[in-house]
Chains A and B, each alone.
Chain A
Amino acid sequence: MIVNKRRRPLPLTVLSTTFVLLWVLMAAFPFIWTVWGSFKVEQDFFSRDSWWFAIEGSRTIAQTGSAFTGDGYYGAWVLRDFFSSVVNTVIVTLSVVVVSLTFGTLGGYALARSGYRYTFWLLMLALVFRAMPHITLVSGYLLPFFEMNIWGHLPTAIIVLVAINQPFTLWMLHSFFLSIPKDLDESAMVDGCSRFQAFRLVVIPVMWPGVITTGLFSFLLAYNDFAVTAMLLSQPNQTMVPKIASFLGTIQQEGNVMFAVAAVVSATAPLFVLVMFFQRQIVSGLTAGAVKG
C-alpha cells in the first residue's frame, strides 16, 4: 500500500481522495442529518420556512430551553413502548437467521455434493420463488392464517420470512460449498468421519466466511422487512419497522413524526455495530467465491 501511494502521481491522489470523500459525504449525509434532527422538535426539523431552523434549532430552544432535546426518544421508547418491538425484532431476526442458516448449510452442502441433475432444477425453482414479490406470498397466506387462527404471532412471521429467505441462502451457500474442493470431505471420510462429521469438523470450519456473509444477508432481510411483518403481526407483536411506520401513520398527534425519527436512528445504530464487528469476515466471504471461481 505505502509503496503504491508513493508511486502514484499527486493529481491522481488528490482526485481520488476528493472523490472518495465526496462519496462518503453523500452516502452518510442523510444518516447524519437524521441523527442531528432527531434531537430537535418537529417544527425545526420539518420546518417549511427554512431548513436553517433544523440547524439552529431556534424553536427547539423556544419549546424546551435547550438546542437539543431527547423528547423524540422519550416518546418512542417510553410513551409508545418501542422497546417491546425491539425485543420482537431480535426474536424474529435471530430465528430467521438461525433457521435459514441451518437449512441453508445442510441443503446447500447436499446440493453441492450431489451428482444428480435434479439439483439444478431445484435451484432454479428456488430462484423463481426468490424473484416473486414478497407481497404476493403474504396475500396468499393471509386468509389461511386467519382461518387457522395463527395470524399475528411471531412464529408465523418467522416461518414466512424463512420461506422467502431460504432460496437465497440455499443459492449462496451452495456456491460457497462448490468452491470447497471435494477432496476435503473425502479425506475426512477416509480418516474416519461420517458424512455429517466431515461436514461439521472439516467443511464448516472452512466455510465460516460464507456462513457469516449469508447470515448477514438473512439478518438484513428479516430486520428490514416491512411487507410481511406489517401484514402478519398484531399490534403488540410488531417489530421495529412496522412500528416506525405506525408512528408516522396514526392520527397526527404532535411529536409523532419525531418519535419515528428517533426510532429510525435507534433502529439503524445496531447495523453499524454489526457491520463493523463482522467487517473482515464479510469482505473475505464476499471475495472468497470470486477468487476461487
Chain B
Amino acid sequence: MAEIRLKNVSKRWHNFVGVDNFDLDIADREFLVLLGPSGCGKTTTMRMIAGLDDISEGEIWLGDRMVNNLEPKDRDISMVFQSYGLYPNMTVYENIRFPLRVRKVPKELHHEKVMQAARMVELVDFLERRPAALSGGQRQRVALGRAIVRQPAAFLMDEPLSNLDAKLRVSTRAQIKNLQHTLKVTTIYVTHDQIEAMTLADRVVVMNKGVIQQVGTPTDIYDNPANTFVASFIGSPAMNLVSGDIENGTFRGPGITIGGLQINVKGPVTLGFRAEDASLVFEGGELGAEIYSMELLGEATMASFRMGDQLVSIKSGKEYRAEIGDVVHAAIPASICHLFDARTGVRIARTPGN
C-alpha cells in the first residue's frame, strides 16, 4: 500500500522519445488507468515503474522511497504482462504459487492463497495444466492470478483483459474492480479500451506519443476534454469536430452556424460537440444537410452528415427513420459546444461573463 509519484519521468532510446516528461502523483489506493492509442508509451511507463526499463530522466517514488535504482524485486509490486510471461515448465498451480515461493511466504499459507487466487480468476479446473495447453484468455487469467496471489504495494496491469471474450471481460472487469476495492492496493491499469477505462478508473490518464494529454476523472475527461486529441479519442462515437471561424460569438463552418458562443474569441477554431447531446429536428436548427449514412445501433439511431471533409454524427431515438439523401436539420445549442484552438487543438475555456 503506497502512493506512487512520478516526477518528470522521461524515457529515450537514442533520439526516440518513448515517454516525455511524465509527471503525476498517484494516491494510495487509487485506481489509475493509462489510456491511449497503440505505441503511446503506456507499457514503457509501467515498465519504468516496475524497474524493468531504466529511467532516462526524472524520479519515481513508491511511498517514501525513491526507487530509481532499486531492483524490480525490491519494489514490491506485481505486474500482469501484456504478453503474459508465464513459466512454460510449471503448471498453472506452480505459476500462481511462484511469487509466494520466491518471496519466502510461509509454506503452509501457499495452498490457501493459490486456491483463493485461482477461484478469483476461475482457473480451479486448470490447475494441473501447463500454460501451453491453455487458450489465450486462460493464460491471461493465470497471469492475473499470479499477480493477485499476494498483496503488493501496487498492482501494474498491462491490458490484462485484452484476450478475454466479451462476457468474461465484463465479469473479470467487475472482479478486478472489486478486488482492488477489497485489497485496497494502488493500481495502475493500462488499456486502450475506453469502456474499461471509464468503468474502472478513479482517474484516467490519456496519453499520446509519450505525452500526457489530460488527467482527470472519467466524467471530467468525457465532459471537458482538454484538447482535440482527447475529444476525438474518448467516447463512442468520438466527439464531432468541425473546423470553421468564429466572430462575435457566432461560429460558421461548412453548412453549420451556431450562435451564442464566447464573444471574446475570434478567428479560426475547431468546434466540438457530442453526437448524443445534439438532436435532429424538423425545422430550423443550427445544421441542415443531406444525410450521408444511417446506422441503427439498437438503442439509438445515428445519422451522419458530410460537412466539408469531416463526418458529423448525431444520435436520435431508436424509432427515428430517414433515408440517405434526405435533408434534415439538427439542433446544436451553444451549451453543448466545446471550442478548441484551430492550430494547437487546446481547449478554449469559457471564461465567466462570456
Question: Which residues of A are interface residues toward B (Cβ below 8 A)?
Answer: 181, 183-184, 186-195, 197, 201-202, 205-206
Contacts and interface: CB of A to CB of B under 8 A. Distances in A.
A192 B99 contact: yes
B88 interface: yes
Which of A184, A190, A193, A195 has the most CB atoms of chain B within a 10 A radius of its CB? A190
Nearest to A204: B89
A209 B186 CA distance: 41
A173 B143 CA distance: 28
Given A197-B102, A206-B89, A192 B84 contact: no
Contact of A205 (B71, B73, B78, B89): B89
Contact of A190 (B77, B84, B87, B89): B77
A186 B81 contact: yes
Contacts of B78: 190-191
A189 B98 CA distance: 11
Interface of B: 50-52, 71-73, 77-79, 81, 83-89, 98-99, 102-103, 143, 146
A132 B103 CA distance: 48
Contact of B73 (A184, A189, A202): A189
A194 B73 CA distance: 7
Contacts of B143: 187
Nearest to A193: B102
A191 B73 CA distance: 7
A196 to B, nearest CB: 11
A1 B160 CA distance: 40
B107 to A, nearest CB: 15
Given A187-B146, A194-B73, 6 more contacts: A187-B87, A187-B143, A189-B52, A190-B50, A190-B73, A190-B79
B126 to A, nearest CB: 19
Given A192-B73, A197-B102, A206 B88 contact: yes
Contacts of A184: 85, 87-88
B50 A191 contact: no
A181, A187, A188, A194 interface centre (most CB from chain B within 10 Å): A187
* Chain A facing B: main interface SS: helix
A181 B82 CA distance: 13
7 contacts: A186-B52, A187-B85, A190-B51, A190-B78, A191-B102, A197-B102, A201-B102
Given A186-B52, A206-B88, A206-B89, A191 B98 contact: yes
Contact of A191 (B51, B84, B89, B146): B146
Contacts of A186: 52, 72, 81, 85
A191 B148 CA distance: 11
Contacts of A205: 87, 89
Contacts of B88: 184, 206
> 10 closest A-B pairs (Cβ-Cβ)?
A187-B85, A183-B85, A191-B99, A192-B102, A192-B103, A189-B72, A205-B89, A190-B79, A192-B73, A190-B72
A255 to B, nearest CB: 54
Nearest to A206: B89
A195 to B, nearest CB: 8
Contacts of B73: 189-194
A125 to B, nearest CB: 26
A249 to B, nearest CB: 50
Contact of B83 (A183, A192, A193): A183
